[in-house]
Structure 1
Amino acid sequence: MKRILKYIMAVAATIAVLSSCGGDNKETPDVKVTLSATPTTVTFAPKATGTKIIAVSTTGDWTATPSATWFHLDKTSGKGKGSISVTADENTGSDERTGSIRISVSGAPDVTVSVSQGADNMVPLTATPAAFDGTKRASTTYQLLVYSFADSDGDGIGDFNGISSKLDYLSDVMGVTALWLSPVHPAMSYHGYDVLDYFSLNPEYGTEDDFRNLLAKAKAKGIDIYLDYVLNHAGKDHPWFKDACASEESQYRDYFLFSKTPSADIQAGKLPMFPKNGFDAGQWFAVGGEKVGAKGRFRFDLDWKSDSAPVVTVTETDAAVETGSSKKYIYYGNDDKCRAFVEDGDGKYHIVVDFDSDWGFLIRTSSETWDNGTKYGGKAGDVIAFGEPFTLNNTEAADIVFKEVTYYHSHLWTDWFADFNYGKASEAETSPAFVDLANSADKWIDMGVAGLRLDAVKHIYWSETSSENPTFLDKWYDRCNATYKAAGGEGDIFMVGEVFSDAPATYSYYDGLPSVFEFSFWWGLRDVLNNRRAGKFVADIIGYHDAYKARRSDAVPALKLSNHDEDRAASDLGKNLAKEKQAAAFLLTAGGKPFIYQGEELGYWGTKSKGDEYVRTPMMWTKSNTGLASKRLGSKIDKSMLTASISVESQLADEESLLNVYKTFSALRNTYPALAEGQMSVTSIDDPAIAAWYMTSGSSKLLVIHNVANSDKTIEVDDSMAHCVALLGTAYVDGTSLKLGANSSVVFEL
């Protein structure tokens, strides 16, 4: 009985247990906790710039514990996936230091991230260039404005003797081998680009004997003289042009471009310097300022049934003057009146005005803007008659005139200049203008001038992109070079053309000239320095130079920063001295022929917004600012800039001045053939803030490196850094590592 009772009790207990489990036989699985961190090694440079990020991945709550106090975590705990930002202090010690970060989560093994920081064992660089042996190997040119460079006689105007007195500065400080003088001929304006006599010198600058003296003294210093020559046009008061305007029988009539109907003559091919689409009404001016307008009370009736060919009719009237409010306007008068027409409906308008205009009138559809299509006029040479309907157009849109007139051409859109007529480019050397101008150049070349800078050469023939200008320039160069050689000149005459365009647009001009200004060099460099990114600058410059050489094996790229027609480099760089210094270093370490503009070496600033004079400031030679050649610039001088500290005297005494950067790098260029005459080529250095290239000439090879960032940059260099020959700013080396300070530049001899 007891056994049966025990059995029953056991069964009951089993049933009770099963009931408490709900009848479910399945086991509950264990939950596995995971933890990972990436990366597991973090390394800081000695300066400890930047932040390192560690990615944490886990299913639980985690903690992070640093082992040292020299590095810092932005957080020490988190949940699930997250990240830790790690920063470090600068390591000022001489030894590497290490530490770790332990990341923990309950239920999983810890993860350890190793942290290390190197010691700064970099050695500061010092430059040890070869001693300058007195031979100027470079072909650096100094651009000076005769009227504002140096005054020798106290009349406030720069002159030839003033230049002669500064040859020691130009040779010994600036290290130049040539001077480009602003136009030296008598002219209508202070700047000299509206020449009155190509065979004479401006008497304000001195006599021919003074000029010969300058040539002789400059030659003794190893300095050539280049003249600025204006072949595109003469001043409108030039005796040749005045005589040509006076009579169609003048011997000078063919020297210039005249037409009574220029648009039609161009279309008919009667003016071979123009393509058939080469008419621009804004480039044609009435001879002698002849008045082609009218005066009186006139009624203007406008029939605007067609936007493409509206019609205007002018009649004399005694009716009262009216005021309209439509969106059609008559524009006229010497004071540029703009009057709204009265709207009559059905596309008809009229207005009565007291008309007084020397130049005629135009019809406009806007009183505020001159956007394309808003100006209506006639065809050049067309004359409106009272009572006769006159069809308007908004393509050519020449002034509507009341009498026939003879026009002359000025490609630069000013009546101050009269363009020369050279006829067909293939026969230009036979044109009377070419012959006389070449004869004038012969005089100065025979006297000892060694080169010419040719102004506005892309405007000589109307088309900038055709072969005409290069063909003309080739003929001009050959003529002048023959004269130069006959006069005993050494080698070939130097000649550089101004083509104010991006580099690719200048390629064809090397078919005519050995040198063309590379405006793209400065425009690109300006962007590099201001954006602090080297980008494609080096590749672009090398590409340009290769393209020049493909056109002409003896091509000489003419490099520059700003010039007399542009805002000053210092202004473009925000008057940032570090950038200005580095711009000088770029200019004097690149391939090509550098041109340095008067005052650029002193850090002159100025913009053209209030007048060109503000970028043509006189040289300030002394702290006391005495003898300033300022008269020709009048009041348009920023005197706040001309303090004692910016003077030549002050900057020569200051080893850290901009002037001394120019002096140092000019001497370097004169010392090393690789800089003086070498070719640029790319390096393997690849950093967005670094511009680097090789300069090579024969067995002479240099490595040039510029850091354009506003902070230190450390890069790896494959080449030897054993011999530093130039340094701007700061540089440190440790093995193959080079650390350059902000806006720092270095040159190594290889």
Structure 2
Amino acid sequence: MHNHHRLFGALVLVLLVLAACQPAVTPTIFTESSPIPSETAEVTSTPTAAGTNWWDEAVFYEIFVRSFKDSDGDGIGDFQGIIQQLDYLNDGDPNTNVDLGIEGIWLMPIHPSPSYHGYDVTDYQDVNPDYGTLEDFQQLLEECHARGIRVIIDFVINHTSDKHPWFQAALDPTSPYHEYYVWSETKPQGLGPLGQESWFKAPNGKYYYAVFWSGMPDLNYNNPKVTEEIYAATQFWLDQGVDGFRVDAARYLFEDGEVLQDAPATIKWYQDWRTFYKQINPQAFSVGEVWTDTQNIAKYGTPDGLDSLFMFDLAEAFLNGLLTGNAAVTLKSYKDAIQYFPDYSFSTFLSNHDQTRAMTALNEQEIKAKTGAFMYLTGPGIPFIYYGEEIGMTGNKPDEMLRTPMQWSAEANAGFSSGTPWEAINQGWEQTNVAVQAVQPDSLLNWYKGLIHLREANPTLRMGSFVPLNSNCKEVYAVLREYEGDTLLTVANLSLRPVQNCTVTLRTSNLSGTYQAEALWGALLFEQISFAADGSLDKFMLAPELAGGQTAVLRLVRP
């Protein structure tokens, strides 16, 4: 709906290949017995600008093409397979709610590449023949656009494959392509920004710089010709009709002495690139992978840089809040994101293709998976769902196990392929699949559908102010959202256990007087709520009891 203005030596090698978006640090995962932060300080935030761009109103869906749907029986997902399944994501009919309600797709790398994952590109202006032809891709774009789905593609511009013709030519020191990469006559001392070797000996006897792996040599952005090449690729894909780019490994473009990440020249490059691509299409969208803390991420942001950036601290906080049953973990991280991105231009998610899948991180507890979805699909920011998250697909490292084929049905190969899948289907697919969950009213899939449609129908959930309420129950996540006269209260019990007699307190707000409550999601917790003249709320009883994982969205209206 919503058609509108919206896979014993080989193993070692695989483990060494870090798909260019590996983190600099391993995320911390708390348990119920871990120390927890104190109650979050109250914060009131209203976005400085809202709803002016299509991405502000979209829910995105991340697709690994190789694993989504195989149309020709070769065991590899492809563009035609995605086309076959588009109605699952969005059927283009605003009068139905059987689809997921997706209005943006992020395609993981689609360029030619020698690897299964594609994060080592050999041609920036073509598509991976495993996935189809450029004509197939153009058809995919047309079919998506007809349904109101925008399409962004992974843009891997920090490095290329060592099989790229540029690098092969660069092995000759007299070639103009030599300066496309970063070279040294001797091996420099020290490790790279990820704490591992980053200088590798080439067949020509020189050493080249590669942040992630020897098979991914870094491009030399001190050479203007490299920027010209990337600008040409940008122009090519925008001319094809793509709606934007997810920028991989965005922190590492320039090296400045010992500064190997977040160099000022890197940040300036994105500002210039923004000017370039916005001249081609002012509504082209960029979202960056800057895997670090929120404060550093913010350096790359709008109004001069990337349109959006992924909030890795917040993603960790969603999971940790659920694992500890402590809402302050999540609320504080939301507050931090809003502090640095007051226009809500940040992008939210639970996990992605480089991380333990959310259902696995949450110990396969569906209630917690549902509550996690509730928080980020009713909260500010631009939500990104990783394919299969909505049915509870599981997966842990190595990376291939995070990217197994989509589980469509209980048929052979989970309905993914009529051939032998490139990677084995995950265990449990006979029960965990789209077809089974589609007919179960209380399934995780239908939970996601409901939340996405609720978000689409209520601009306040997308663009409203964010006002956390403090509670005597640490498990209670409660937030007021206000937008153009509409006030919503979102409530969740992050624990598996019921909590009793939970009150909420607020020092100040824009509200005063008495409001009637109407349930938009979940049960009606109370019928009436009264705010003091100064907008405060003192120990208001939400409900005698909130069940484990219970959630609600209430509209507050004047009687």
Q: TM tier, shorter chain?
A: 0.7 to 0.9
Distance in 1 (CA, whole Å) between partners of 2:494 and 2:273 is: 42
Q: Could you tell me which residue of structure 2 aligns to residue 407 of structure 1?
A: 207
State the match for 2:365 in structure 1.
576
- Structure 2: runs of 5 or more not aligned: 1-53, 92-98, 506-513, 530-540
Counterpart mapping for 1:300-339 below 5 A: none
- Equivalent of 1:596, from 385, 389, 405? 385
Supply the distance in 2 between the matched residues of 1:679 and 1:629 (Cα, whole angstroms): 45
Question: 1:607/1:673 Cα in 2 relative to 1: closer, same or farther (>3 Å)?
Answer: same
Partner residue in 1 for 2:216: 417
Q: What amino acid sits opposite 1:239 in the alignment? A: P
Whether the aligned pair in 2 keeps the contact of 1:244 and 1:251 (CA below 8 Å) is: yes
Aligned residue in 1 for 2:270:
473
Q: Secondary structure at the match of 2:438?
A: helix
Say yes or no: does 1:725 pair with 2:513: no
CA separation of 1:722 and 1:285: change in aligned 2, threshold 3 A:
same
List aligned pairs for 1:585-624, cutoff 5 A: 585-608=374-397, 611-624=398-411
User: For residues 241 and 215 of structure 1, do their structure 2 counterparts lie closer, same or farther at Cα, with a shift above 3 Å needed?
Assistant: same
Q: Specify the alignment match of 1:677 in structure 2.
A: 463
Return closer, same or farther for 1:633/1:498 CA change in 2, 3 Å cut-off: farther
The residue identity in structure 1 corresponding to 2:274 is Y
Cα separation, 2, equivalents of 1:617 and 1:278: 29
The aligned residue for residue 700 of structure 1 is: 486
Shift of 1:476: 1.8
Deviation at 1:561, TM superposition (A): 0.6
- State the partner residue of 1:253: 178
Q: Residue in 2 aligned with 1:663?
A: 449
CA contact (8 A) 1:147 1:632 kept: no
Alignment of 1:254-653 (within 5 A): 254-261=179-186, 263=188, 282-288=197-203, 405-412=205-212, 414-423=213-222, 431-462=224-255, 463-485=260-282, 492-510=283-301, 512-549=305-342, 556-608=345-397, 611-626=398-413, 627-629=415-417, 634-635=422-423, 637=424, 639-643=426-430, 645-653=431-439
The letter for the 2-side match of 1:455 is: D
* 1:234 matched to 2:160: yes
SS of residue in 2 equivalent to 1:189: coil
Cα pair 1:141 1:178 within 8 Å, conserved: yes
Q: What is the CA deviation profile of residues 273-295 of structure 1, one whole-angstrom value per residue up to 9, with x for unaligned ones?
A: x9xx989882111113x6xxxxx
| Structure 2 SS opposite 1:601 | helix
- Structure 1 contact 614–638 (Cα < 8 Å) conserved: no
Deviation at 1:602, TM superposition (A): 0.8
Contact 1:149 1:629 in 2 (8 A): no
Q: Does the C-alpha gap of structure 1 residues 600 and 183 become closer, same or farther in structure 2, counting only changes over 3 Å?
A: same
Kept in 1: contact 2:317–2:330 (CA 8 A):
yes
Describe the SS at the equivalent of 2:287.
Answer: strand
Cα pair 1:562 1:569 within 8 Å, conserved: yes
Residue from 43, 58, 62 that aligns with 1:139: 58
Distance 1:519 1:480 in 2: 26
Asked whether the equivalents of residues 55 and 285 of structure 2 are also in contact (C-alpha less than 8 Å), the reply is: no
Per-residue CA deviations over 1:203-249 (Å, capped at 9, x if unaligned) read: 1211121111111111111100000000100000000110111x212
Q: 1:448-489: CA deviations, max 9, x gaps?
A: 10110000111222332432221111122221222224xxxx
- Paired residue secondary structure (2:217): strand
User: C-alpha deviations, 1:139-197, integer Å up to 9, x for none?
Assistant: 11000001110111222111111111111111152211110001111001011001010
8 A Cα contact 2:123 2:164, kept in partner: yes
State the identity %: 32
What's 2:106 paired with? 180
Task: Give the 5 Å matches for 1:11-160.
Answer: 138-160=57-79
| Equivalent-residue separation in structure 1 for 2:175 and 2:326 (angstroms) | 59
Q: For 1:630 and 1:564, how far apart are their aligned partners in 2?
A: 25
Q: Distance in 2 between matches of 1:141 and 1:215?
A: 15
Task: Give, in angstroms, the shift of residue 655 of structure 1.
Answer: 0.5
For the 8 Å contact 2:410–2:429, the answer to whether it is kept is no
C-alpha separation between the residues in 1 aligned to 2:360 and 2:268?
A: 37
- Secondary structure at the aligned position of 1:747 is classed as strand
Going from structure 1 to structure 2, the CA distance change for 1:617 and 1:685 (only over 3 Å counts) comes to same
- Larger relative CO (CA 8 A, sep 6+): 1 or 2? 2
Taking the aligned partners of 1:720 and 1:279, their CA distance within structure 2 comes to 53
Q: Report how many residues are paired.
A: 467
Indicate the larger mover: 522-531 or 235-244. 522-531
Counterpart code for 2:407: M
Question: Which residue pairs with 1:165 in the alignment?
Answer: 84
- Residue 547 of structure 2 corresponds to 741
Once the 2 structures are TM-superposed, how far is the Cα of residue 589 of structure 1 from its aligned partner? 0.7
In structure 1, how many angstroms separate the alpha carbons of the residues matched to 2:487 and 2:455?
A: 13
* Higher deviation after alignment, 520-529 or 654-663: 520-529
The change in CA–CA distance for 1:520 and 1:473 in structure 2 (over 3 A counts) is same
**CA offsets, 1:48-107, max 9 Å, x none?**
xxxxxxxxxxxxxxxxxxxxxxxxxxxxxxxxxxxxxxxxxxxxxxxxxxxxxxxxxxxx
1:712 is the counterpart of 2:503? no
In structure 2, the CA distance between the partners of 1:591 and 1:280, relative to structure 1 (3 Å rule), is closer
Does the 8 Å CA contact 2:111/2:127 hold for their aligned counterparts?
A: yes
Q: Structure 1 stretches (4+) deviating beyond 6 angstroms? A: 277-281, 630-633
Question: In the alignment, residue 182 of structure 1 is paired with which amino acid?
Answer: M
> Which digits, 9 at most, give the CA deviation of each residue in 1:505-529, with x for residues without a partner?
3121215212110011121111111
Rg larger in 1 or in 2? 1
> Aligned with 2:491: secondary structure?
strand
SS at match of 1:418: coil
- The secondary structure found in structure 2 opposite 1:437 is helix
Mapped contact 1:136–1:670 kept (Cα < 8 A): no
Q: 2:37: which partner in 1?
A: none
Q: CA RMSD in A?
A: 2.6
Instruction: State the shift of 1:534 in Å.
Output: 1.3
Equivalent position SS for 2:478? strand
Q: Distance in 1 between matches of 2:134 and 2:300?
A: 33
Asked if 2 retains the 8 angstrom alpha-carbon contact of 1:591 and 1:695, the reply is no
CA distance in 2, matches of 1:419, 1:661: 42
